[in-house]
Amino acid sequence: MPSISPSPVLRGEKHSFSFAQAPHEMVLENGSRIGPVTIAYETFGRLTPAKDNAILVAHAFTGDSHVAGLYADEPDDARPGWWDSMVGPGRGIDTDRFFVICSNILGGCAGSTGPSSLHPTSGRPYGLDFPMVTIGDMVTAQKALLDHLEIDRLVAVIGGSLGGMQTLEWCVRYPDMIRAAIPIATTMRHSALAIAFNEVARQAIMADPNWKRGDYYGTAGPDTGLAVARMIGHVTYLSDQAMRRKFGRRLQDKQDFSFGFDADFQVESYLRHQGNKFVQRFDANSLLYITKASDYFDLKEAPGKPFREPGTAGTKFLVVSYTSDWLYPTYQARELVQALKRSGRDVSFCEIEADCGHDAFLIPDERLNTLVRGFLDGLA
């Protein structure tokens, strides 16, 4: 595939917006109330005077609002945003044409209100006093942000994985606001397998004595548990094929086995490195809350309940899956496509051949760019 070079010209700024000040707290799906709520967000491109060119990007589990480009106020920022290959001038989501918004999810730890934020009454971090938030609550918070920006129509909502769930939930909650939706590498509901991996990750964190039932802020946190949780997640984002290609049975900095518990194989070192890197940037409690939100997500409210139909007859959907994604396999994307079609929706579906597993949507690939660009062009 052709390589995609970074966008040196795209410079983003991080903003934040607060709402739901007491006594007007946000009412969550489980009935509890939270406020004030801060949402960290970034925008790219220019909003037209008619405010008719906005696209909302919903980030995946461990993502943040920094979708693309480099930070304007950090001239040495060496690392472009997490979807720089997709969002930028001339990219699949062309920032010369569209005004792109991405906010950190409610419950996250990259600027938006989450379990590491300060409780308004106690002044101490919420910890487990943070209420359980759902994908629906994340979407409601994003809607408040759009109200703040005075945007009442979106050209599209797009996102992969947990971002795909938010995309679908947006279409359920605000069907009239959305022209098109692009859920990528996602599912209508978690399988038992996906719940199982999330549960093991949660147990790894809660098994760490430094977790202290979530009340670890200001002390040594549950870093070892969080690292193990990340390692579990990371394996599920890859694929057998990708791991064979990337690591095989190659040894790490040695000619022979150590016959001990050091990392012998490159894949072991890689996972340890991923785990250790993750604890620098992610809050363990956020992982607990976000995994739980993804387990709860279901386009049926509950087993036996009717399908919560996303969008309207006018909403256009582009559903994308990847051949080697075993976390949300193509058969689950097909179930989504069939459900949307039964609801009379206008659906395009594409399964992309890729051997890199669930994370494929994050990897620069001109095919996804072409697909998204063509789909957005067709909305005219």
Interface contacts to a second copy, rule CB under 8 A? 30, 128, 131-132, 189-193, 195-197, 199-200, 202-204, 206-209, 224-225, 227-228, 231-232, 235, 238, 240, 243-244, 246-251, 256-257, 259-261, 263-265, 267-268, 271-272, 275, 288, 292, 295-296, 298, 302-303, 326, 329
Q: How far is the CB of 232 from a second copy (least distance, A)?
A: 6
Looking at the Cβ atoms of 172 and 243, the one nearer to a second copy is 243
Looking at the Cβ atoms of 46 and 244, the one nearer to a second copy is 244
Burial of 378 (0-12, 13-18, 19+ CB in 10 A): exposed
Looking at the Cβ atoms of 217 and 265, the one nearer to a second copy is 265
d(CA 162, CA 358): 12
Q: Is the CB of residue 140 less than 8 Å from the CB of residue 232? A: no
The catalytic position among 161, 239, 286, 324 is 161
Q: Is the CB of residue 227 less than 8 Å from the CB of residue 282? A: no
Is 325 a catalytic site residue?
Answer: yes
d(CA 129, CA 215): 9
Is 269 a catalytic site residue?
Answer: no
Q: 10 Å Cβ neighbour count for 193?
A: 12
Looking at the Cβ atoms of 20 and 267, the one nearer to a second copy is 267
Q: How far is the CB of 222 from a second copy (least distance, A)?
A: 9
Q: Which residues pair with 329 in a beta bridge?
A: none
Q: How far is the CB of 212 from a second copy (least distance, A)?
A: 13
CB within 8 A of 244, min separation 6: which ones?
none
Q: Is the CB of residue 81 less than 8 Å from the CB of residue 68? A: yes
Is 161 a catalytic site residue?
Answer: yes
Q: How far is the CB of 88 from a second copy (least distance, A)?
A: 33
Q: Is the CB of residue 17 less than 8 Å from the CB of residue 106? A: no
Amino acid at the residue 198: N
d(CA 264, CA 256): 8
The catalytic position among 94, 116, 358, 359 is 358
Strand, coil or helix: 141: helix
Q: How far is the CB of 356 from a second copy (least distance, A)?
A: 13
d(CA 181, CA 175): 10
CA distances from 256 to 12, 103, 260 (A): 47, 47, 11
Q: Which residues pair with 19 in a beta bridge?
A: 37
Q: E strand or H helix at 127, and its extent?
A: none
Strand, coil or helix: 148: helix
d(CA 201, CA 236): 11
Q: Is the CB of residue 60 less than 8 Å from the CB of residue 84? A: no
Q: How far is the CB of 300 from a second copy (least distance, A)?
A: 9
Q: How far is the CB of 236 from a second copy (least distance, A)?
A: 10
Looking at the Cβ atoms of 91 and 189, the one nearer to a second copy is 189
Q: Which residues of 153-165 are buried (b: 16+ CB within 10 A; e: fewer)?
A: ebbbbbbbbbbbb
Looking at the Cβ atoms of 42 and 325, the one nearer to a second copy is 325
| Residues noted as catalytic | 161, 325, 358
